[in-house]
Amino acid sequence: MSIYLDNAATSFPKPETVYTAVEHALRDVGVSPGRGSHRRGLAAARLVLEAREALADLFVIPDSSRIVFTQNATEALNLAVLGLLKPGDRVVTTTMEHNSLARPLHLATRRGVEVVFVPADRTGRVDSAEIGAALAVPTRLVALSHCSNVTGTIQPIAEIGALARKRGALMLVDAAQSAGCVPIDVGAMSIDLLAAPGHKGLYGPPGTGFLYIAAGIDLDPLMVGGTGTASTGEDQPADLPERFESGTLNTPAIAGLLAGVSFVASTGVAAIARHEERLVNRLCAGLQEMPPVRLCGPEPLKPRGSVVSFTVDGMDPGHVGFLLDQEHDIAVRTGLHCAPAAHRTIGTFPAGTVRVSPGYFTTDAEIDTFITALKSITRGRICNV
């Protein structure tokens, strides 16, 4: 039986309601929101509004119009970084960032923005005091991930947010690995910009994501065009969310995202976190029994997201993943996971790691089967890195 342990990339399977919602939007709604006053157009608009409000409820966002739909977290992060920063601005970030944030920041440096990197320790954790020290110089933005996609390390976002607010800096949080899996309250955590994909812990389809923009923050759009509103003007509308949603929204995917968010809300983020924590602890305990295996990230039983990376002495991570897939029908992720700086930080560059990421639908039995398979591989197959 096939076992899927790559939920940090895309969650699978989805709740059955997600598949049903996508089909309903395609078959029974079938049109674009905001592009007509007929009943189908109004139904599409209501569906999109419901999705916006469901996200607002989940992340304790007071105004759902401040949520902008994007095609993924990468687009949301690009909009936040490139739409906000101007030449002469200063950004504080960390050495644990995914390329979805690191590359827009790099592009910003070519446009005259200063980017300062605060190093994480070997477990991937950033000391909030070091962020505070970096903020001694006037800073426009603090930008970092909530949970590492390499190590599962959860950063002290609330502490960092309080420091940023005290210093007058905005905070952008990449919640790709935490949205739906770790409780997030944008107000309590002093988050000004929150970017997340829909296809991971929110259980929506690929091609969905969003950016929350706190009141008082003005961004330049990445793209302009038709919005279905203010059609007489040549300039892009100033009102949200239309200012950042040019063109036709992917209504069927947003319908699926609504169903996924509803599943998360009804199940409870805390319940999902407890289930995944138990699986991660079971996984780490099994890995510790294998002498060639070296765990990365937080110590076992310490807080982490549902991401476990490891290396095997004498074996290339890619070969381990290949054998798991071809001989045991188990899907994991190998390599650098689009985060080379994180691997330099924890000492696994350039080969990377084997990454295992259970999800809410993963079972104890599947974790046990994975452990058995890895024991077989490490006993019987050794190849030089």
Closest CA to 2 of 317, 379, 362, 312: 362
Q: Determine the pLDDT at residue 1.
A: 76
Using one digit for the tens of pLDDT, what is the confidence trace for 248-303?
899 999 999 999 999 999 999 999 999 999 999 999 999 999 999 999 999 888 88
Burial letters for 115-144: b for 16+ Cβ neighbours within 10 Å, e otherwise? bebbebeebbbbbbebbbebbeeebbbbbb
Residue 197: strand, helix, or coil: strand
- pLDDT grade for 85, boundaries at 50, 70 and 90: very high
Using one digit for the tens of pLDDT, what is the confidence trace for 323-364?
999 999 999 999 999 999 999 999 999 999 999 999 999 999
Place of tokens 């999109």: 48
Using one digit for the tens of pLDDT, what is the confidence trace for 185-222?
999 999 999 999 999 999 999 999 999 999 999 999 99
Closest CA to 117 of 80, 81, 79, 91: 91
Interval 158-179 mean pLDDT: 98
Q: How far is CA 362 from CA 2, 147, 283, in A?
A: 12, 20, 12
268-380, what's its fold?
A: Aspartate Aminotransferase, domain 1 (3.90.1150)
Q: Determine the pLDDT at residue 385.
A: 39
Given a contact cutoff of 8 angstroms between Cβ atoms, the answer to whether 306 and 357 are in contact is yes
Secondary-structure class of domain 16-267 per CATH: alpha beta
Residue 180 has pLDDT above 60, yes or no: yes
Closest CA to 298 of 126, 77, 101, 118: 126
Q: Measure the CA–CA gap between 23 and 197, rounded to whole angstroms.
A: 21
- pLDDT grade for 37, boundaries at 50, 70 and 90: confident
For the chain, give every domain's residue range.
16-267, 268-380
Q: Which residues contact 191 (CB under 8 A, 6 or more apart)?
A: 157, 161, 171, 173, 184, 212, 214
Distance of CA 44 to the CA centre of its chain: 26
Q: Measure the CA–CA gap between 146 and 47, rounded to whole angstroms.
A: 29
Q: Determine the pLDDT at residue 35.
A: 66
Quote the DSSP letter at residue 62.
Answer: S
Catalytic positions are 338
Given a contact cutoff of 8 angstroms between Cβ atoms, the answer to whether 280 and 366 are in contact is no
